A and B are shown apart, each in its own frame.
Chain A
Amino acid sequence: GAVVSQHPSWVICKSGTSVKIECRSLDFQATTMFWYRQFPKQSLMLMATSNEGSKATYEQGVEKDKFLINHASLTLSTLTVTSAHPEDSSFYICSARTTRSVHNEQFFGPGTRLTVL
């Protein structure tokens, strides 16, 4: 149980285009989902926290107009990178908390590799 999927697993796009990444909880309801960004050989940096049906909370320094997050249902959150540029190339990982999660336990997706040309 507690499986999180991401789609696509990798994407290549041209500079200036927008890319949408989906994060789904497959066998549980996720009241809260998190989006992380990971640069090569570095740790995960929390970008934003999204709660179902409400606006996402962005971490300091993360442009909310560039990284649009939608959490429309208890099983789906999307991250849209708008007007992508090469510096947005990174590994994006989502995680989710279940409605029964205790102690901040999060379940992670497999990640999405974004390359902007």
Chain B
Amino acid sequence: AQSVTQPDIHITVSEGASLELRCNYSYGATPYLFWYVQSPGQGLQLLLKYFSGDTLVQGIKGFEAEFKRSQSSFNLRKPSVHWSDAAEYFCAVGEAWANNLFFGTGTRLTVIP
């Protein structure tokens, strides 16, 4: 069965520091992978996605993620965090032959000055 694990429930980083949010998935075939960001009381905004090809994908707001098949991971990174990046981040995996997206439990990011 498909599943997504985000091991870190809450991460705190200083503004300007680098960031890495972890995501591990379980899926039999090549997954379609997504990272979404959700600000309090808001819907989800797509940061980036991976379908195939180059395993390092660039997204909006300076985010990038790397697909590592051997580790079943799709970690999100940003070299320098801004205070406005404080939000909830969700990793999701999609199936090739179905409509569903499976979401991880999310990682809440706090940015301190």
Contact = CB atoms under 8 A, between A and B. Distances in A.
Contacts of B32: 103-104
Contacts of B51: 102-103
Contacts, number: 58
Nearest to A91: B41
Main secondary structure of the interface of A (DSSP, over half): strand
Contacts of A102: 51
Interface residues of A, number: 25
Q: How large is the interface on B (under 10, 10 to 19, 20 to 34, 35 or more residues)?
A: 20 to 34
A46 B43 contact: no
A54 to B, nearest CB: 13
B73 to A, nearest CB: 18
A34 B99 contact: yes
Interface in A1-58: 4, 6, 32, 34, 41-44, 46, 49
B50 to A, nearest CB: 9
A97 B34 CA distance: 15
Contacts of A106: 101
Contact of B43 (A43, A105, A111): A111
B104 A110 contact: no
Interface of B: 32, 34, 36, 41-46, 49, 51, 90, 94-96, 98-101, 103-106, 108
Given A42-B106, A93-B44, A105-B49, 4 more contacts: A32-B99, A104-B100, A104-B101, A111-B41
A-B pairs, top 4 by smallest CB distance, nearest first, are A104-B94, A110-B43, A108-B44, A103-B32
